[in-house]
Amino acid sequence: MTAETLKRTALHDEHLKLGGRLVPFGGFEMPVQYAGILKEHDAVRNRAGLFDLSHMGQFILEGENVAAWADRLTINAVETMKPLQARYNIFCNAAGGAHDDVIFYKLDGRWLLVVNASNADKMWKLLNAHVGDSGVKLTSLHGKNALIAIQGPKALAMLQPHVDIDLNAVKYYFCAEATVYGKNAVLARTGYTGEDGFELFVDGADAPEIWTALLRDHVADGLEPCGLGARDVLRLEAGMPLYGHEMTEEITPVQAGLNWALKLGKPAFTGKEALAAQVEADTFPRIAGLVMNGRVPAREGYKVFLGDREVGEIRSGSMAPSCGGKNIATALVEKDAATLGAELEVEIRGARHAATVTAQPFYKRPK
Which one-letter amino acid corresponds to residue 144? K
Residue range(s) defining the domain that contains residue 209: 12-55+143-237
Last residue of a domain, one of 237, 266, 297: 237
Taking the alpha carbons at both ends of the chain, their separation in whole angstroms is 44
314 and 213 share one domain: no
Q: Which of 237, 271, 296 is the last residue of a domain?
A: 237
Is the CB of residue 261 less than 8 Å from the CB of residue 271?
no
Question: Is there a single domain that holds both residue 290 and residue 182?
Answer: no
This prediction's pTM:
0.97
φ and ψ at 275, to 5 degrees? -70, -40
Query: What is the model's pLDDT at position 367?
Result: 81
170 and 28, same structural domain? yes
Q: Are residues 179 and 34 in the same domain?
A: yes
233: in domain: yes
Q: Helix, strand or coil for residue 220?
A: helix
Contact 298, 314 (CB under 8 A): yes
- Examine residue 185 and state whether it is found in any structural domain, yes or no: yes
Q: Is the pLDDT of residue 1 over 60?
A: no
Q: In terms of C-beta density within 10 A (0-12 exposed, 13-18 middle, 19 or more buried), how is residue 125 classed? A: exposed
Q: What values do phi and psi take at 220, rounded to 5?
A: -70, -20
- Domain match, 213 and 313 both: no
| 125 lies in some domain | no
- pLDDT interval class at 100 (50, 70, 90): very high
Contact call for residues 113 and 102 (beta carbons, < 8 A) = yes
For residues 185-194, average pLDDT:
98
Share above pLDDT 70 across residues of the chain, in percent, rounded to a whole number:
99
Q: What CATH number does residue 45 fall under? A: 3.30.1360.120
Measured from the Cβ of residue 121, the count of other Cβ atoms closer than 10 Å reads: 15
Query: In the prediction, which pLDDT does 283 show?
Result: 98
Tell whether 157 and 46 lie within a shared domain: yes
Count of structural domains within the chain: 2
224 in the same domain as 157 = yes
Average pLDDT over the chain, rounded to an integer = 97
Q: What is the mean pLDDT of residues 71-85?
A: 98
CA-wise closest residue to 137 among 74, 88, 69: 69
Q: Is 214 a member of any domain?
A: yes
The pLDDT assigned to 111 comes to 98
**Are residues 148 and 49 part of one domain?**
yes
| Residue 218 resides in a domain | yes
Asked if residue 121 is part of any domain, the answer here is no
pLDDT surpasses 80 at 3: no
Write down the pLDDT at residue 4. 62
Q: Give the C-alpha separation, 345 to 233, whole Å.
A: 22
Q: How far apart are CA 144 and CA 90, in angstroms?
A: 24
- Average pLDDT of the residues in 307-316: 98
Closest CA to 82 of 59, 109, 105, 116: 105
Out of 237, 270, 293, pick the residue that ends a domain. Answer: 237
Q: Would you say residue 170 has pLDDT above 80?
A: yes
